[in-house]
Structure 1
């Protein structure tokens, strides 16, 4: 570093495990290069980063809920929206997407005063933001800020790229304008409120439907080469750096001995939101019971909700996901970018059953690039699910292509590339 100083990099991920664990990977690489990586975290994520050895600064909150009460609150939130997750992406705009933006704007406004108090004390050399909305305090902190695009690449609009959250195919122009118009109209109240708040903090307004501008300094996209999109207006490589995913380092995992211990290993995780859908997972377990394979299934903190578990299935509340995916023959997930990139990094086919947000975009992209298969999360029969699992397990051509891509990604670790780009920014 210039002058030999040890820089402090503050990482501020949104309150989701996908963004949080992506940032852990970057922080590990920064720390290995001599930087001091610290985390700013929302309520409910205290301890997540400390478990990886990083110092945490939790934003104070007027939320007086205990950790158990907070988990129950989010479980209730997701359960209210489960019917909406069964809708097509365009019909989720009013029912789920717009209310979610309202909640995100609330979070930004509530975080402003605590961030303005914390950042001068922390005095970071750079701030890494992995979120979908801008926090004005970061732009006004007097140091460079880095945007991490850890959702699908569709988050950055382009005439040749399908609309964000649409699940459209790359060549599908039919309905694009209708989707974009409906989206902008539905999120307008949240967007107008957000722009008023930005103006009060000295920031310019953002265009309709946009809640986060590109960083003027550095933008990191987790999109691996194998699924990268062709853009009508290519991104400036001086400001936009593509990563080959951003996979963190986890400890080893020992696969349990199953009562019926034979066949390929399938890992299934629908993330913190999807694990709440107990009915869906129970339907899937019935199909798994008849298949010649072993299944590791992440059910979050709802393990006690399952009574009859097939003897070729192992349920748990948490898995060291990168270590498990590396041993798996198939990864069934919801299309979160974190999960999708981990599957690609270890050469594992994806069966994507999306329910919201960029999961729709990643599911469609998996089909387009022959890196996996999309399956509607609600409208499937037992025979269709069994055929999808069996078909991916037996697709040797896909597996060979994914293995070659895994070697490509291993030779270009995304977390290390991110750390290099962040530290190079400080040198300049």
Structure 2
């Protein structure tokens, strides 16, 4: 009964990872980090699926095969997580083809040590089947290559931690939250993979509970990309520059949810951090029409009236679709709102003055300094013919 519950938990975790991977892959046009992130999620989904299968298996041969499969997957999972971290931190320039191949060398060699009979003993050997209170477990002896692959995974985990920590220090607001969730979500599997491979978390002896904690990873990563959606992490200087702009700025993703807002917009619309991720229609009720009008255009401009503190002011609204360079699909909308109330008032005064001169019964003639006639009103025309 307990073994079935443990296996069920791992199978549910596997499904969560696969769903997060599919959702992230669906958003690959929004962020280049989505593809390696999806690969990492798929690999973790397969890993937890194999772990659940291992809980239910009772034969030595099947457990050895499942163990080899898991050890084959783990190094590639850390590489995928590392690539996602670099992409999300906008450090993809470092990821040259040669470096990616170099990073993949040890995981590729690990496949040989996991499956070739002559090399397998350097990874693990002396397999035995142990019978414990509620399930059968596999015991073994670790070889030299195991400690090499463990050190390699530990190094990759430290690099991921360094990247995420650096990004976290240079982010704030919604960027900080997403980076925090993604960082924790990427660090947890890296640490647990190391602990699992080293066999440190064995309670009782012979059974490792580390894969069960991966459900937290699936939930954190899923929440990060669903609640805040994929976006590039903005440097602190960019955030400060946007906050210094007097115009209101809102960023809306392709799902019509608010992704970001500068200080001016937050004050005017009274946006809190909890409001990030809500539908933009709550702030701009006619957003659906604006979105329809902007399709196929580079930029859309409108004049709208907004009420604040029982005062109606006029704003110039600009909607700029942000398109993915590769697919040209719209991944976000940048909305700018600039108050033009005083400007409109002055324009109306000028128009009223022009209208008064035009309708005046007196003749009006306006010339330049050189004596060139620039304007005559209708009364002057009637008088002079």
TM-score (norm. length: structure 1): 0.23
Radius of gyration: which is bigger? 2
Q: Which has the higher helix share?
A: 2
Choose between structure 1 and 2 for higher RCO, CA contacts under 8 A separated by at least 6 residues. 1
TM-score using structure 2 length: 0.25
